[in-house]
Structure formats: structure tokens, C-alpha cells
Amino acid sequence: MAAKWIEVITGSLEQKKQYRTDKARIEGLPQPYATAATAMHRYLMYASGVTDGDTMTRMFTDLADLWETASADGTPVRAIVGDDPVDFAETFARAYAGREWIDKERARFTRAIDEAAGMESRS
């Protein structure tokens, strides 16, 4: 019973456990994969805009899988991210179409424009 109450305030404990597991997997990679995966993880935390815990957990599990596979196969870092690592990371994040913080503002902006356009037609 107490765990459910705590989760209401802090979020899913299972998601937190999975996040810590995936973070440890990334940190445990050999170089240069650990550096690349850690940098991508940090960038995704700031730039992905994902706010849904389930989506974020899935994204970071897949990130760890990606870099573990690349490490095991000996795939060069540039063969993974290409010439534009920002584009690669943002494309990766778009595959996880969860709720984003900006969704609410997009809807608010669209409603305001619809309202303004409606005012024009009544004038």
C-alpha cells in the first residue's frame, strides 16, 4: 500500500529501476561506445521532449541495446550516428512518439489562432 502512495508522488518505481539498469549498461560499455552513448543519453534527456515515463524508459532501453550491439559488432561510432549526430539523435527520439511538454502549448496556440480567425469572419 505504501509503495502505491509513494509512486503517486515520485512516479513508477519499476521505471526508475529500469532507468538505472539501462544507465549502468551504457556506463559499462567499452570506449569509445560509452562516451558516445553517454553523450547521446544526455542529449536525449534535454532535447527529446518526452515526458511520459513509459516512453522514456523504452527509449533508453533501446538506446542501451543500440550501443551494446554496436560495441559487440565493432561498428564504428560514425557508422551509427553519421556525419550529423544531432540529426541522428533527434530522428531516434522522434521514433518514440510519446507526450511532449510542447503538445499543450501547440494546442493552446492553435485554439487562439482559430479564435482570432473566427473574430475576423464576424467583423
- In angstroms, the CA 27 to CA 12 distance is 23
- In angstroms, the CA 70 to CA 74 distance is 6
Q: Which domain holds residue 24?
A: 2-122
Are residues 57 and 18 in contact, defined by beta-carbon separation less than 8 angstroms?
yes
- As a whole number, the mean pLDDT across the chain is 87
- pLDDT per position as a tens digit, 39-95: 999 999 988 877 778 889 999 999 999 999 999 999 999 999 999 999 999 999 988
What CATH number is given to the structural domain containing 106? 1.10.1900.10
- pLDDT per position as a tens digit, 30-46: 999 999 999 999 999 98
Instruction: Please report which residue ranges of the chain form alpha helices under DSSP H.
Output: 2-10, 13-27, 33-47, 53-73, 77-81, 85-94, 102-122
Q: Report the pLDDT value the prediction gives residue 66, as an integer from 0 to 100.
A: 98
Please give the single-letter amino acid code of residue 46: Y
This prediction has a pTM of 0.73
Q: Report the pLDDT value the prediction gives residue 11, as an integer from 0 to 100.
A: 63
If one counts the domains in the chain, the total is: 1
